[in-house]
Amino acid sequence: MARKDGRRVLMVLATRAEMGEVEITATRPSRDSVLAVHAKLVAGGLDRRSGWTVTHVPSGKSVGVVFPTRRQAMALALEFGERTEWSAVGPRGGARNVDRGFARELMSAARRIAGISR
């Protein structure tokens, strides 16, 4: 669930931990981006010192890489946020219909930008 106000997005994220659902504010690189950036979610809430996350706004699912800086996370969101391939992602984050080449390209770029070697 998300409420958009320009580049700012209010999202309710379901967590795997004991926190249940958490309401956060994230920033998109553009009004048309389906990706938004926010500080990493930890047990106590959002923690910028723990890194930055890129989340798919319609589904609330993270791309699965923690970026050391907000600038790095925003670079990925800027590069991939307006791509048409996101339309294949289901409302709950189901990626079954997403082109595998796009998924590999996304994850490769995320690791490169975050400075993670394989």
pLDDT given for residue 36 in this prediction: 93
Work out how many domains the chain is built from and give that number.
1
pLDDT given for residue 43 in this prediction: 64
Q: What is the pLDDT of residues 52-79, one digit of tens each?
A: 999 998 888 889 999 999 999 999 999 9
pLDDT given for residue 117 in this prediction: 75
pTM of the model: 0.83
Instruction: List Cβ neighbours of 114 (8 Å cut-off, separation of 6 or more).
Output: 65, 66, 67, 68, 72
Domain range for 16 is 2-114
**Can you tell me the distance from the alpha carbon of 4 to that of 25, in angstroms, rounded to the nearest whole number?**
10
Q: CA 17, 61, 103, 118 torsion: positive or negative? A: negative
Are the CB atoms for 38 and 29 separated by under 8 Å?
no
Higher-pLDDT residue of 103 and 16 is 103
